[in-house]
Structure 1
Amino acid sequence: MEFRVLRYFLTVAREGSITKAADFLHITQPTLSRQLKDLEQKLGKKLFIRSSHSVILTDEGMLLRKRAEEIVNMVDKLEAEFSSMEETISGDVYIGGGETEAMKQIARVAKDVQLRYPNIRYHLYSGNEEDITERLDKGLLDFGILIQPADISKYNYLNIPAKDVWGIVMRKDSPLAVKETIQAADLLNVPLICSRQPMKQTFSKNEFTDWFGEDFHKLNIVTTYNLAYNAAIMVDEGIGYALVLDKIVNTSSNSNICFRPLEPRLESGLNIVWKKHKLFSAAADVFLKEMQAEFSKSLN
Structure 2
Amino acid sequence: MDIKQLKYFYVIAEEGQITSAAKKLHIAQPPLSYQLKNLEDELGVKLVERGSRSITLTDAGVILYKRAKQILSLTKSTVDELKDFKQGISGTLSIGTVSSSGASLLDSRLSIFHDKYPFINFEIHEGNTYELLELLNKGIIEIAIVRTPFNNSGINSIFLEKEPMTAAMVKDLNWTDSKVIDIKELENKPLIFYRRFERLIFKACHDLNFNPNVFCKNDDARTSLLWANSGLGIAIVPKSAIKLIGSSDIIYKEINNEELSTQITIIWSKTGYLSSAGKNFLELFSNT
CA distance in 1, matches of 2:237, 2:122: 26
CA distance in 2, matches of 1:24, 1:196: 73
CA distance in 1, matches of 2:125, 2:243: 20
Q: Given residue 296 of structure 1, which amino acid in structure 2 is its aligned partner?
A: S
State the SS of the aligned residue for 1:26.
Answer: helix
Paired position in structure 2 for 1:227: 220
Paired position in structure 1 for 2:138: 138
1:260 aligns with 2:253: yes
Q: Classify 1:196/1:251 alpha carbon distance in 2 versus 1 (closer, same or farther; 3 Å).
A: closer
CA distance in 2, matches of 1:134, 1:11: 53
CA distance in 2, matches of 1:150, 1:84: 36
Q: Shift of the alpha carbon at 1:84?
A: 7.5
CA distance in 2, matches of 1:144, 1:95: 4
Structure with the greater alpha carbon radius of gyration: 1
* Partner of residue 279 from structure 2, selected from 284, 288, 293: 288
Q: Which runs of 5+ in 2 are unaligned?
A: 39-70
Paired position in structure 2 for 1:91: 92
Q: Shift of the alpha carbon at 1:168?
A: 0.7
Paired position in structure 1 for 2:188: 189
Q: Shift of the alpha carbon at 1:166?
A: 0.5
CA distance in 2, matches of 1:227, 1:195: 6
TM-score if structure 2 supplies the norm length?
0.65
1:275 aligns with 2:275: no
Q: Given residue 242 of structure 1, which amino acid in structure 2 is its aligned partner?
A: A
Contact 1:136 1:143 in 2 (8 A): yes
Paired position in structure 1 for 2:41: none
CA distance in 2, matches of 1:253, 1:147: 21
Aligned length: 237
Contact 2:96 2:141 in 1 (8 A): yes
Paired position in structure 1 for 2:152: 152
CA distance in 2, matches of 1:99, 1:106: 11
Paired position in structure 2 for 1:127: 127
Contact 1:167 1:246 in 2 (8 A): yes
Contact 2:96 2:143 in 1 (8 A): yes
Paired position in structure 2 for 1:81: 79
What percent identity do the matched residue pairs reach? Answer: 17
Q: Classify 1:116/1:186 alpha carbon distance in 2 versus 1 (closer, same or farther; 3 Å).
A: closer
CA distance in 1, matches of 2:273, 2:280: 14
Paired position in structure 1 for 2:48: none
Paired position in structure 1 for 2:115: 115
Q: Given residue 95 of structure 2, which amino acid in structure 1 is its aligned partner?
A: Y
Q: Classify 1:148/1:253 alpha carbon distance in 2 versus 1 (closer, same or farther; 3 Å).
A: closer
Stretches (4+) displaced over 4 A: 20-23, 76-80, 250-254
Paired position in structure 2 for 1:100: 101
Q: Shift of the alpha carbon at 1:250?
A: 5.2
Q: Shift of the alpha carbon at 1:96?
A: 2.2
* Partner of residue 237 from structure 2, selected from 239, 244, 259: 244
Q: Classify 1:77/1:279 alpha carbon distance in 2 versus 1 (closer, same or farther; 3 Å).
A: farther
Per-residue CA deviations over 1:66-118 (Å, capped at 9, x if unaligned) read: xxxxxxx9xx96896248744972224332224123x5443433333333443
State the SS of the aligned residue for 1:106.
Answer: helix
Paired position in structure 2 for 1:64: none
Contact 2:100 2:244 in 1 (8 A): no
